Amino acid sequence: MFRCGIAYPRCRWILPLLLLFAIIFDIIAIAATSGWIEDEDAKSHYSSMWDEYLGRNDQWESRSLMQYSWAQAVAALMIIGLLVLIAAFILSCAALCCSFIVGLLPVIGILLIVVVVFQVIALIIYPVKFNELIFEGNYYYTWAYGFGWGATILCIGCSILFCCLPRYEDELTGLAKTKYIYSSA
């Protein structure tokens, strides 16, 4: 006999794990020095969240983007988003892994919505202002910029799940009877 159902008590570990991946993605996006943007033609210009590099081969000229207020705002929003995400991760471990605290779940969802708002603003400001700063050529957004979006998308999904979890309190604690999706006789 084969039965297929969802083991909700085991699902309590998945959400903190997803938030841990979002933290790792954010750290990669913030710390990446290889660039968020690079030019498509001559590979002579690329820019990270912090610096801009011009040149060829082994002769690169580095300029800090932190002289611009928009770059400071992007850095601040990404770092604040990371810090709020770390706080949400700690709360999710306390609420789901150590003991089941239903009251914390919507709070964690709201914290993740705040993270999403901060990071979406930062990830939209950066390319818009960078394109205003540089007028020539075509540019590609690199993997580091993609990790920033990846963390934001993970936070969107987790915020929805954290806001919906209080409805499934009995299933998560193991008090409800398992509902099988498929059962063969």
Residue 178: the pLDDT is 67
Topology annotation, domain 11-176: Butyryl-CoA Dehydrogenase, subunit A; domain 3 (1.20.140)
Q: Rounded CA gap, 46 and 64, in Å?
A: 12
Alpha helices in 93-175 (DSSP H): 104-133, 143-164, 169-173
Which of the residue ranges 73-77, 99-103, 161-165 would you say has the lowest mean pLDDT?
99-103
The residue behind tokens 């993270």 is 115
Residue 74 amino acid letter: V
| pLDDT level of residue 95 (50, 70, 90 thresholds) | confident
Instruction: Give mean pLDDT, residues 93-113.
Output: 87
Per-residue exposure over 161-171, b if at least 16 CB sit within 10 Å of its own CB, e if not:
bbbebeebeeb
Residue 55: the pLDDT is 76
Starting at the edge strand that comes first in sequence, how are the strands of the sheet with 59-64 ordered? 59-64, 51-56, 45-47, 37-39, 139-141
Are 59 and 50 in contact by the 8 Å Cβ rule? The answer is no
Is the pLDDT score of 143 beyond 90? no
Is the pLDDT score of 43 beyond 60? yes
Is the pLDDT score of 3 beyond 60? no
Structure tokens at 166: 């209080």
Structure tokens at 53: 């590099």
| pTM to 2 decimal places | 0.84
Residue 148 amino acid letter: G
Q: How far is CA 5 from CA 50, 117, 124, 165, 169, in A?
A: 48, 35, 41, 18, 17
Domain boundaries in the chain?
A: 11-176
Is the pLDDT score of 83 beyond 80? yes
Residue 173: the pLDDT is 66
* DSSP bridge pairs for 58: none
* DSSP bridge pairs for 48: none
